Amino acid sequence: MANVKNKKQQPGRIAITGELTIYTALELKDQLLTGLAEAEELELDLSEVGEIDAAGLQLLVMIKQQAAVSGKALSFTGHSPVVLDLLDLSGLAGFFGDPLLIVRKPL
């Protein structure tokens, strides 16, 4: 079960752990929007995302756009391998504009 890590939660920083998929999208949406509303600058730590699907990706797009609309700074950090993989596949890395550590998979 994925969730926002509430322990050692600090303002302006949310770590998503476990799944970022259709199964968790509904609750994550609210948590992310709340998190964004509460801070001027938000950092989303994706280092512990173990699974991500299109719904999860869509959610990230949504929150990024919402941040832009409300004029807040949002950044994603510490992309886990599955996140990197999907960003690479979708070609959306440029849209998010976060610095990524590109790891080329051996062919």
Partner 1 sequence: MIPDEYLQTFVVECKELLEQMEEALLIVEQAEQDPEIINAIFRAAHTIKGSAGMFGLDPVVEFTHAAESVLDRVRSGEVAMTSVLAALFIEAHDHLKELIGHVAEGSHPAEATDNHGKTLIARLEAYLGETPAEQPGNSGSSDNSGEMPVIQTANVEREHSDAVVGTDLWHLSLRFGPEVFRNGMDPFSFVRCLASLGSIEELVTVIDAIPAAAQMDPESCYLGFEISFSSDADKLAIDSLFNFVRSDCFIRILPPRSKASEYQRLIQELPEQEMRLGEILVKCGTLTPEELDNILRLQSQHGDAPQRPIGEVLVEQQMVSSPVVEAALAKQQQVKDNKKSEASLIRVDAEKLDELINLVGELIIAGAGTNLIARRAGMAELMESTATLSRLVEDVRDSALALRMVQIGGTFNRFTRVVRDVSKELGKDIDLVISGGDTELDKTVVEKIGDPLTHLVRNSMDHGIEAAELRLARGKSAKGTLRLNAYHDAGSIVIEVSDDGGGLNKEKILNKAIERGLVAEGANLSDKEIYNLIFEAGFSTADAVSNLSGRGVGMDVVKRNIQALRGSVDLDSIEGQGSTIRIRLPLTLAIIDGFMVGVGNASYVIPLDMVVECVELNAWASDEGDGQYLNLRGEVLPYRRLRDHFVIDGDMVQRENVVVVRYGEHKAGLVVDKLMGEFQTVIKPLGKLFSSEKSIGGFTILGSGEVALIVDVPGLMGQIEHEREAGEVVPFTRSGVVMH
Residues that bind partner 1 (CB under 8 A): 22, 25-26, 28-29, 33, 53-55, 57-59, 61-63, 65-66, 69, 86, 89-92, 95
Cβ closest to partner 1, residue 26 vs residue 103: 26
> Least separation, in Å, of the C-beta of 67 and partner 1?
9
Cβ closest to partner 1, residue 10 vs residue 102: 102
Cβ closest to partner 1, residue 53 vs residue 98: 53
Cβ closest to partner 1, residue 10 vs residue 82: 82
HEC sequence for the chain: CCEECCCCCECCEEEEEEEECCCCHHHHHHHHHHHHHHCCEEEEEEEEEEEECHHHHHHHHHHHHHHHHCCCEEEEECCCHHHHHHHHHHCCHHHHCCCCCCCCCCC
> Least separation, in Å, of the C-beta of 8 and partner 1?
26
DSSP state for residue 17 in the 8-state scheme: E
